Amino acid sequence: MVRCRDGSLYTGYARDVNARVAAHNAGSGAKYTRSRRPVALAAWADLEDRHRALSAEWRIKRLTKGAKEALVTRYQASPGDFRRSVLRLLGESG
């Protein structure tokens, strides 16, 4: 998840998180972030496979703004707790 200049959160999948953030900031990332640069990494979780990562992205994108903010707050407090929260969204115990 990245936080855009306007305060919004964008959720996406990436194999290389740092390269993806750099792409967003270069204007070659998602269309959503192009007009909201710069972006900053807000939270991320290393998931075991692409399927889990894409499923997590899909579920997070459907959360309310408040629920997304709660996830970011959880990440700032403990990245491990954030990962467990993401896994719970997927129906896994983590």
The helix/strand/coil state of 40 is: strand
Give the pLDDT score at 23.
97
- Could you tell me how many helices (H) and strands (E) the chain has, helices first? 5, 3
Cα separation, 67 vs 64, in Å, equals: 5
Contact between 57 and 11 (Cβ < 8 Å)? yes
pLDDT tens by residue, 2-56 = 999 999 999 999 999 999 999 999 999 899 999 999 999 999 999 999 999 999 9
Residue 93 pLDDT grade (very low, low, confident, very high; cuts 50, 70, 90)? confident
* Model confidence pTM above 0.85: yes
* Mean pLDDT value of segment 49-72: 96
